[in-house]
Amino acid sequence: MARLNGERMRYQNNIASFWLCILSILFNVVCIFLINENRKIMPDYYIGIDIVYNIVFMILGFMGAEKSKTYNKSWSYILAIMGAIQVLRIFIVPLRFYLFGQLKIIIFLLIFMFYSLSGLVLIISAILCYTRSTILREYLKYLILQGED
pLDDT tens sequence across 84-125: 999 999 998 899 999 998 899 999 999 999 999 999 999 999
In this prediction, residue 2 carries a pLDDT of: 52
Rg (CA), the chain: 19
Give the helix/strand (H/E) hosting 117. helix 105-146
pTM attached to this predicted model: 0.88
What are phi and psi for residue 42, nearest 5 degrees?
-85, 125
For residue range 41-93, list pLDDT tens digits in order: 777 888 889 999 999 999 999 999 999 999 999 999 999 999 999 999 999 88
Domain interval for residue 57: 2-146
pLDDT at 30 over 50: yes
In this prediction, residue 140 carries a pLDDT of: 86
Q: What totals of helices (H) and strands (E) does the chain contain, helices first?
A: 6, 0
What does the alpha-carbon distance between residue 47 and residue 10 come to, in Å, rounded to a whole number?
Answer: 44
- Please, are residues 94 and 108 in contact by the beta-carbon 8 Å criterion? yes
**Domain tally for the chain?**
1
Of 129, 136, 24, nearest to 77 by C-alpha is 129
